[in-house]
Structure 1
Amino acid sequence: MGGVAGGISRDVLLMQIPAPLLNPMYLVLTILAALLAMRIEYNAGQKFREGLFQFATSLSLPWYAVIGAGKALDAGLPLLTAVVIGVVGATAGRFIIDLTCGVTPKQFIRGEWFVGTAVLASVVYVACFAWLHWGVWSSTLAAFTVAFVFRYTAMLRGWEEPEPWMPPELAVETPRPAIQDQLRKEFGDS
């Protein structure tokens, strides 16, 4: 579900038939990826979720945002709407995964710029493509590079999205481990 939920959400908002319903290879590849992830999860446990999975998220999040923003622009939607569609397309899959796993969706907890990265990728793509009139490939590469570097740096440095002010007696802060520590733990390096 998580592998196709973002694209389906994006396509429904764009009033298009979702791509996984038109081409069964989406579903086949998603199922194969799920089986691979389950195998890795079985062998690596929690280390997989906190290391390699987070790195893979840094790579995929900007791509999904760019694809969503690009499809919205192709549909002739306003620039702000294209950014919103990019964010929905990039984050809806994770929302479904978190809900089905019984955890608070990542969009509602403080983290290393998950939604912010999707916004950044979408804004950079829209700016490059619509305002600067760059081509699709150069706009995509620029948006991916900026958003990936930002997200990965946030994970390396432990940057977290800001949250509304809360009285100190109600705020409970727990430091988040940096991704390099999680990757070292996952791959057994000291």
Structure 2
Amino acid sequence: MFIDLFSPSVQHSLDLVGIFVFAISGALLAVRKNFDVFGMAVLAEVTALGGGVFRDLVIGAVPPAAFTDLGYFLTPLIATVIVFFLHPEVERITAAVGVFDAAGLGLFCVTGTMKAYDHGLGLTFCAVLGMTTAIGGGVLRDLLAHDVPSVLRWDRGLYAVPAIVGATIAALLIQFDALNGGTSALAATVAFLIRLMAMRFGWRAPRAWNRRSTAAEEV
């Protein structure tokens, strides 16, 4: 099984790191929205686990891993406590948090693709589900916070695009029987670097061709 390319302990540790960083972003948004501590915890849990839960439900891996591993559940709560007491300090290192978030994006888009393939999905849908694993929690976070999801907004840097690129590379590696620990890490790194470059240079996806001639700018 492709999901066994890494040892269980390594895979689990990487998952927890990604979950923690995603949870930080959810808790920070809750602070900006003036949510109470319960709202912070909810946004942290949803951001960290939402994509993985959706993936597991689609592929029939039930109960989802988020409901069978106490570490997955507790890690967002730890992130919530940190942000609750130290959010001004955490806000000051937003750039560093963004780097780790990009790393989580790269990791989850690849592992999501591999897990989908292990459960019998075709490669196209494996890549789609890999992308969803990486961005799904952020979409749910924004919806709960009454925001347009960041992945749909032109004024935000590329986020879904790096995820689909990483997931597509992983799917192609599976297609050509070339997926192993090294190449899967390479796919995750490509997604990570694209996200970092988008953050650094403000890369954005194009909008509708010649849209300014037919529609007014909307905020």
TM-score range, shorter chain: 0.7 to 0.9
- 1:79 is displaced (CA, Å) by 0.7
Give the equivalent residue in structure 1 for 2:77: 31
Q: Aligned match of 2:147 in 73, 97, 103?
A: 103
Letter in 2 for 1:171: E
Q: Within 2, Cα distance between the matches of 1:172 and 1:54? A: 27
Contact 2:170 2:179 in 1 (8 A): no
1:38-117 map, 5 Å: 38-45=84-91, 47-49=92-94, 51-110=95-154, 111-117=156-162
Q: What does residue 180 of structure 1 align with? A: none
Cα offset, 1:97, TM superposition: 1.3
Contact 1:62 1:144 in 2 (8 A): yes
- Greater displacement, 134-143 / 87-96: 134-143
Whole-angstrom distance in 2 between the partners of 1:117 and 1:10: 18
Whether 2:80 is the aligned partner of 1:12: answer no
Query: In the alignment, is the contact (CA less than 8 A) between 1:10 and 1:88 conserved in 2?
Result: yes
User: 1:80–1:99: structure 2 CA closer, same or farther, 3 Å change rule?
Assistant: same
Pair 24,161 (structure 1): closer, same or farther in 2 beyond 3 Å: same
Kept in 2: contact 1:6–1:91 (CA 8 A): yes
Contact 1:129/1:139, CA 8 A, preserved across alignment: no
CA contact (8 A) 2:83 2:90 kept: no
What TM-score comes out, normalization by structure 1 length? 0.81
Q: Taking structure 1 as reference, are residues 38 and 75 closer, same or farther at Cα in structure 2, changes over 3 Å only?
A: same
Q: What is residue 217 of structure 2 aligned with on the other side?
A: 171
Instruction: Tell me the distance in 2 between the aligned counterparts of 1:70 and 1:118.
Output: 14
Distance 1:39 1:14 in 2: 38
Mapped pair 1:142 → 2:186: yes
Query: How far apart are residue 172 of structure 1 and its match?
Result: 6.6
3-state SS of paired residue (1:77)? coil
Identity of aligned residues (%): 22
Secondary structure in structure 1 of the residue aligned to 2:212: coil
**Could you list the runs of 5+ residues in structure 2 that have no partner in the other structure?**
1-45
How many correspondences in the alignment? 170
Normalised to the residue count of structure 2, the TM-score between the two structures is 0.71
Provide the C-alpha distance between the structure 1 equivalents of 2:99 and 2:217, rounded to a whole number of angstroms: 28
SS of the residue corresponding to residue 182 of structure 2 reads helix
Q: 1:48 to 1:134 in 2, by over 3 A?
A: same
Structure 1 window deviating more from structure 2 (164-173 vs 94-103): it is 164-173
Q: How large is the RMSD of aligned CA atoms in angstroms?
A: 2.0
Partners of 1:90 and 1:102 lie apart in 2 by 20
Distance in 1 of aligned mates of 2:65 and 2:203: 35
